[in-house]
Amino acid sequence: MTNRNCIFVGCDLHEKTLVNRIAVNREPAEKRTFGNTVSGSAKLIAMLKQKAKELGGARIVFVYEASGQGFILCDQLRAAGIDCHVLAPTKIERSSKQKRNKNDDRDADRLLDIVRSHELAGTKLPSVWVPDLQTRDDRETVRTRQDVGEKQTGLKTQIQTLIKRHGMEKPEHVKGSCTKSWWQWLKAMSEMKEQGEGFRTALASLLRQLEFTVEEIQRLDGAVEQLCEKPHLKPIVAKLDAEEGVGRLMAAAYATEVGDFDRFRRRQQIGAYWGVTPSSNESGEVGDRKGHITRQGSPRMRRILCQAAWSRVRHNKLERETYQRLVERNPKRKKIALVAAMRRLSIRLWHVGRQAQREMKGLTTN
């Protein structure tokens, strides 16, 4: 770093507050707290700009952890000319003691140490990619559809559990779930006075909720389809959707979650992004021992990757043979074989999506 003064800010972002630890160069830090509102963010930025002016035009470097609060604060800071980095919580190393003794001040101090070490000593900064506004908006539609689908699955499970809890079984003439005969049977059960009042009340409520989610899913499927037809997504989604085991929703989810396919340089990076790579334990005399997958990244994407991988194992000869070969080595490791299928699928979709995105931009694939 040059001799120019630098203001470092580590911010612990919450729904209602912005807890900041602010330091100039290597000096001790001070605490400043603002409300997590539009006016609170404006006051924080004004204070930092004034402080930078007093120091003769000091550079401001700001960091906070990614969360459900999104990237609005990052947008505001960058618009004000402040260098802002959003860090990945899963990639910030913390000792057991730090995990047990957490509070807002300590978290902000930890972030301040990370950014100051990066600027002054060149240590690695575990930052995340900040998607553009279009990508963020696209994700909202797809993620909402996924969330409602998970609610539907949860309601079906609740209904099944309720029926079993009262010692009932599905008649032979009732096939599947959400079929016409299934709905008729359950609605008749909810109206039978021979059953307890509590059972009838609970079942009727669950059926009303499930009926709403089924209708809502139909509406959201239409919204996802409209999204897939937009020019910036249509070529990519079409290529992904053509892959065996990949449906329209998964293709849209994969495309919107990745955003810019060229931000990944190697296939190992996309596997790590979805959290389907094994953890590693290697130290001193101990060789590299692989553990459970890291589970970093989006859990919802791992769930649909799992569903698609199973479909490919069942219907794709090459995938089925690969899966069976891994299982034959150790029949107790079927999950490992499935995770390997998920990783292969995620990498293939990355190659396919990158090719489509580059063709759309008029570029060629290396």
Give 171-190 pLDDT, tens digit per residue: 888 888 888 899 999 999 89
> Residue 72's pLDDT band (boundaries 50, 70, 90)?
very high
Band of residue 276 on the pLDDT scale cut at 50, 70, 90 = confident
Strands 278-283 and 286-293: antiparallel
Confidence band, pLDDT 50/70/90 cuts, at residue 279: low
Does position 364 have pLDDT exceeding 80, yes or no?
A: no
Q: Under a CB-based contact definition with an 8 Å cutoff, are residues 46 and 100 in contact?
A: no
Which pairs count as long-range contacts for 124-128, CB under 8 Å and 24+ apart, including other chains?
Answer: 125/63, 125/85, 125/87, 126/87, 126/88, 126/91, 126/92, 127/85, 127/86, 127/87, 127/88, 128/66, 128/86, 128/87, 128/88
pLDDT classification of 275: cutoffs 50, 70, 90: confident
Q: Give the Å distances, CA to CA, from 37 to 14, 71, 132, 331.
A: 11, 13, 21, 55
Residues 187-235 have pLDDT tens digits of: 998 988 888 899 999 999 999 999 999 999 999 999 999 999 999 999 9
With cut-offs at 50, 70 and 90, classify the pLDDT of residue 345: very high
Does 171 or 353 have the greater pLDDT score? 353
Put simply, whether the predicted model's pTM sits higher than 0.95 gets the answer no
